[in-house]
Every structure is written in structure tokens, then in C-alpha cells.
Structure 1
């Protein structure tokens, strides 16, 4: 209906923050201020939040640190 439900939005963000081991000071932090690995994890979280039946990723961990790679693969 075009209405944002902020509580649900933050709950979903918190869920993916824990699931992908996202490192940010808060959920309100600008994405541009995060490391490249954390930015990449946010993009993946956005895709996963749409509940796709199939998701195809081409080198989703290219150029990110080992810790972020483990979180993405997990």
C-alpha cells in the first residue's frame, strides 16, 4: 500500500545484520561510510530480503576480506 512500517523494516535490518555479521555503528549509518565488504554484504542482504526463490551470484566475495567472505558464504 506504499506505507513504510519502520518497526518491521528495522527488525528485518537487524536480522540481516546478525546473519551476515555486518559491522556498523548503527542501522542508521550511511552505507557509503562502511567498508567495501560491509557494503557488499548490504547489497546481498537487500537481495535476500526480497525472498527470491533463486539467486545467482557471480563472484559475490571478490575483493572483500576473509571475514566478510566467510559471512557471505555462510
Structure 2
């Protein structure tokens, strides 16, 4: 049971981290180069992301490619 609890805490921590990166992007429609780097770094350093987290990150990158978000420096 402890292993499951540790995994749950890790998942909540990851979710909290990703939400802290995504929230400003989703609420303002603006993405900084730093935000892009943080998202990419987060994806690469957390290969076992939950599917829902991956969907959110991919949605941001898809929207960036389509011009839906403004990139600011």
C-alpha cells in the first residue's frame, strides 16, 4: 500500500507542476519561450506522465503550431 501512496503523491506533485506551467498559458493565451522550454523539459524528464497530462501538453503545442497562442519573449 505504501508504494501506491508514494506513486499517488508523485502523480499529484507532477500534476501540480504541470498545472502551474499550463494555467498562465491557458488563461492568457500567451506563451513565453521559457514556458515552452519548461513544458518540453517537463515532458522529457517525466517519461511516465499520465495520459491526461500528456493531452494537455500536446494541446498547447498543437495550438502553438496552429497560431492559436501568441508567443512572447
State the TM-score, normalized to the length of structure 2: 0.32
Higher relative contact order (Cα pairs below 8 Å, separated by 6+ residues): 2
Structure richer in helix, relative to its length? 2
Larger of the two Rg values belongs to structure: 2
State the TM-score, normalized to the length of structure 1: 0.32
Structure richer in strand, relative to its length? 2
